[in-house]
Amino acid sequence: MSQTIVITGSSSGVGLAAAEQLAARGDEVILVGRDAGRLAAAVARVREAGGREPRHFQADFEQLDDVRELAARLLADYPAIHALANNAGGIINRAHLTIDGHEATMQANHLAPFLLTHLLRERLTGARVVNTASRAHVQGRPGTNFAEDLRSYSSWRSYGASKSANILFAAEAARRWPDVLSVSFHPGVVRTNFGAGRLTRLFYKYAPGLVTPEAAGELLTWLLTTPAGELENGAYYVGRTVTRPAAHARDPELAADLWDASLTATGLTKE
């Protein structure tokens, strides 16, 4: 049976690879990306893979109004959404606050997908949400003040904290929304254009032993399509194996505090 699947960050890398694979299966894939040129190129690739034109939406997750507009358009156009892949994200090299007043890495990687998922909640009953996290979560514990002191900014620490937030969000969503299957996963160290700064980008393009986007995309595709009974709600996956994340990323008190702080930061009503 064909499914309707929204994939953020699908203009390149893991998200694009998964979108191609899902389209080839016959699923209706909705692409979301920030850069218009890369998004147009992704549309062409997914069209070739699936034989039909995929819908696509441009949104910058450093602007929460973009997320709100995206959600409104999805709700208006799609009476059913079977899966949401919160895959957009990255490392931001330059310390700055967004126009919404939050540290940019945490907003783009956590607050924006948190907001999008909440706004689509009415479409997600009986559906699933997959958050792209990372083993890099061990490098950072998320706080609940999203306008951190940028004088002590570290791109990798902030990235790690945002990936911890992705894991905590999936686990807390499973506790609060038992009618939604919610998981997170580590895609591997993927050969993409990921990274901030020239040296980091060169590493992710040319270092030996990196995972291909296609292999990481297969894992995302599996999480999005495998029968729900074969997955563990709230779990963090490395490969196809449930794995214990770092202690701070499995702390239920931190998960609950982060949830409440995220509701406030994104202007949502406390639950």
Distance CA 256, CA 262 (A): 10
- Kindly give the interhelix angle for 13-25 and 36-50, rounded to the nearest 10 degrees: 30
Cα–Cα distance measured from residue 260 to residue 271, given in angstroms and rounded to the nearest whole number: 8
Strand partners, 129: 84, 182
Cα separation, 68 vs 171, whole angstroms = 24
Structure tokens at 224: 């999005």
Q: Is 153 annotated as catalytic?
A: no
Q: 65: Cβ–Cβ under 8 A, 6 or more apart, which residues?
A: none
From the candidates 78, 153, 159, 236, give the one annotated as an active-site residue: 159
Cα separation, 32 vs 7, whole angstroms: 6
Please give the positions annotated as active site.
159
